[in-house]
Amino acid sequence: MQYLLDTHVVLWWVTEPKKIRPKIQKIIADGKNKIFISSASLWEMAIKKSIGRLTMPHNLIEILISDGFEILPIVAEEALGVADLPLIHLDPFDRLLIIQAKLHDLILITADSKMTEYPVVILEA
């Protein structure tokens, strides 16, 4: 299976994995599954770090790659695709994750209940 982690799930995985439900921890840790981290999440974390709202490891990308995750770039079709999403969620980073999950047929792992209102498969973190 292929999964996309929401930004907070990425942070929990790296800093506080016990916040993630055990079933979801197993899915993420299972090497048979393909786990994606969106460049949008990295961008969101960098912004929050720069304004003092987030602390993250300086070697975050190395950690994610060593855990077997793949970085999902943002492409033009995804950037423009958010325009076609209903305005359920106003967070631009979350909207980008939703369109990436939809276009790449990924299961989105999140604790954000607003995302369940979109036509993508969601697993609760």
- Rounded to 5°, the CA angle 26-61-80 comes to 90
pLDDT of residue 121: 97
Q: What is the largest CA-CA distance in the chain?
A: 37
Q: Say how many domains are in the chain.
A: 1
CATH number of the domain at 26, please: 3.40.50.1010
Give me the domain span that covers residue 45.
2-124
| Nearest of 27, 41, 30 to residue 121 by alpha carbon | 27
Q: Which residue has the tokens 């439900």?
A: 21
Joined tokens for residue 67: 């855990």
Paired strand residues for 38 = 72
Q: How many angstroms separate the CA atoms of 75 and 63, rounded?
A: 24
pLDDT (tens digit per residue) in 12-58: 999 999 999 999 999 999 999 999 999 999 999 999 999 999 998 88
